[in-house]
Amino acid sequence: MTAEQRVEAVEYRRLHEHPLHSPPHLQFLGQRQFLITGTCYEHKHHIGISHERMTNFEADLLSACAKFAVGTYAWSILPNHYHVLARTDDIEALRHELGRLHGRSAFNWNGEENQRGRKVWFNCFDRVIKSHGHFWASVNYVHHNPVHHGYADNWQDWLWSSAVEFLERVGRERACTSGASSRFSTTERSGTWIEEQPEG
């Protein structure tokens, strides 16, 4: 993108009342799947200050998703961000619930660290899943993210993700076949995997 094209893109975003440097939250009707990412401000390791905090945040995140997601297919919690692949028919309500989770966690963590007023979260971004292939690529992306960022040598070794649970349910051979993982989801409430086909 040239400097002139960047200026045009920013102007277009300004005229359409979109954030200048982050994607807009679009409204979708009906049940869809989304890859959701939440990031700590300035990529600081607020989530990963301790294993206990990582574990508690994972439980809180899955609980928040369970309120408005029909299925939670994959997740990964890292020290400074998280990814969740979920199906919902009310992305606006799920965004709001994740915003509340960000607010509660920021308040609690700032209190624990005597840092009142510190900004903990930067943003929450969701991307609609467009196809069966996009879904499968997203499952792989979420599960491999700890390796990509250098936190684990093998994606199955990362404690704060759905990778191990997924492999236990579908088996290594079946998980390695193209598209096999997209037929399953899990919810924190039931703790069980449900076979279903993704939309799109």
Domain boundaries, the chain: 28-195
> pLDDT (tens digit, 9 = 90+) per residue, 52-85?
999 999 999 999 999 999 999 999 999 999 999 9
Q: What are phi and psi of 39, to 5 degrees?
A: -125, 135
Alpha-carbon distance 189 to 63, whole Å?
7
Q: What is the residue whose two structure tokens read 């990529």?
A: 43
Residues 35 and 61: their CA atoms lie apart, in Å, by 14
Q: For the structural domain made of 28-195, what CATH number should be given?
A: 3.30.70.1290
Q: What is the pTM of this model?
A: 0.74
12-45 confidence digits (pLDDT tens): 656 655 444 444 444 444 569 999 999 999 999 9
- Interval 145-181: pLDDT, tens: 999 999 999 988 999 999 988 888 877 777 666 454 4
